[in-house]
Chain A
Amino acid sequence: MHEVSLVNSIFRSIELEFPKQDVERVRGIFMRVGLLSNVEPVLMQSAFAAVIETESAFRQATLHVEVLPILVHCAECDKTSLVENYKFVCACGKPSNNIVQGTELLIHKVEFALDDD
């Protein structure tokens, strides 16, 4: 629902992290979004396409979105298990909402062109 504002925060985060001349050379933005972040990759791509129309610095960039499944860690048996159908229960049967993966909303890699075209 807030994909456009997310795309804007992607751009602002990159601008804060990298020097201005590098921002112009961004070609690939790699995101990891946990299943619980409620981010819809398809909507993310359309929002991205819409926003780069006005953000000339990022015109040549491509967005890659990887969705991460939810993993919980069980304190009882010290095991990490996959959450399916939003059932937060460990394989041993104990309920667990100690989430170790699935809430991410981050950029984990940025690709830059080596020379200006």
Chain B
Amino acid sequence: MSTPHTHKSNRAPVGAVQCENTSLNLLKANDFVAKTIRDRMAAQSTLVINITSSAGSGKTTLMQATAARLKDTLSMAVLVGDLETERDAIRIREAGVPSLQIVTGGICHLEAQMVLQAMDHITLEGVDLLFIENVGNLVCPAAFDLGEDYRVTLIATTEGDDKPKKYPRMFLTSEVMLISKADLLPYVPFSVEAVVQDAREVNPDIHAITVSSTSGVGIDEWCEWLLERVREKKGSDESNDSVVFLSKQLGSM
């Protein structure tokens, strides 16, 4: 790995160099594909949510809990990114929702191109709500737009409550912060208040919900938020009957 790169100094350019000022955005290709996804999902009024967190914060478990609550109310699907295995998609399918694993083969984040390719292998027609569970990592996924409508970041009560300051870009680009594993709050040194305050210093508009997929705390509020967003997304399409249906559901919650 660490062979000295002497050739560089040996053959350093002598004489004049020519400079080209340019502006090559390294994320241009990703952003272009993300726009393709966004346009395609807008045309069929599918709400797209990108779920990010560190590894093990409870993303897949939340997908299972959300599926249990909403699968009879609306049509859901989940794309799930993972470094190597297919376990998460199996867990979500067992919860009764179509799910497809995107195995990144060691890449630490999902890119729009991977999502677009996966979309050819799952039926998205008539799907109201598409989740994309990102690879567990708060650094790299922050830079990659996947064509989502909203980015939701989980922070578990078992992690340090200093995450928003350590990974500001993720919190800056997220509309919602879910404080997960709330059932463990009595046992861990974690201050919900402090984490919300830190997150709001980075992103004053971030919406915070405290949830537990195991006890069910906050799952109503989370699902209500989702239904409201789905309704908004469909709102632009007046002819859609499910708008009325979803409004009724909301009223009853």
Contacts and interface: CB of A to CB of B under 8 A. Distances in A.
A117 B11 contact: yes
Interface residues of B, number: 41
Given A5-B107, A105-B26, A107-B26, A86 B201 contact: yes
Interface stretch (B1-9, B43-51, B94-102): B1-9
Contacts of A28: 17
A10 B20 contact: no
Contacts of A82: none
Given A5-B107, A38-B142, A109 B201 contact: no
Given A38-B143, A88-B172, A109 B20 contact: yes
Contacts of A60: 7-8, 11, 13
Interface string A22-53: 00000110000000111000000000011011
A89 B19 CA distance: 38
Given A27-B17, A59-B7, A6 B26 contact: yes
Nearest to A50: B1
Interface in B33-85: none
B8 A109 contact: no
Contacts of A105: 25-27, 143
Contact of B5 (A49, A112, A117): A49
Contact of A2 (B19, B140, B168): B140
A88 B66 CA distance: 33
Interface string B87-117: 0000000000000000000011100000000
B24 A107 contact: yes
B202 A86 contact: yes
Interface residues of A, number: 44
A93 to B, nearest CB: 12
B8 A62 contact: yes
B203 A97 contact: yes
B15 A9 contact: no
Contacts of B253: none
Interface string A85-117: 111110000011101000101111111111101
Nearest to A97: B203
A46 B140 CA distance: 18
B69 to A, nearest CB: 31
Contacts of A9: 26, 29
Given A87-B201, A97-B172, A97-B204, A108 B143 contact: no
A63 B169 CA distance: 25
A14 interface: yes
B173 to A, nearest CB: 9
Interface of A: 1-2, 5-6, 9-10, 13-14, 17-18, 27-28, 36-38, 49-50, 52-53, 59-60, 62, 85-89, 95-97, 99, 103, 105-115, 117
Given A52-B5, A109-B22, A112-B20, 5 more contacts: A14-B24, A95-B200, A106-B23, A106-B26, A113-B17
11 contacts: A1-B108, A9-B29, A13-B24, A27-B13, A38-B143, A86-B168, A88-B203, A109-B20, A110-B20, A113-B15, A117-B11
Which 10 A-B pairs give the minimum distances between C-beta atoms? Answer: A95-B204, A86-B168, A107-B24, A13-B24, A113-B13, A36-B169, A111-B17, A105-B26, A112-B18, A114-B16
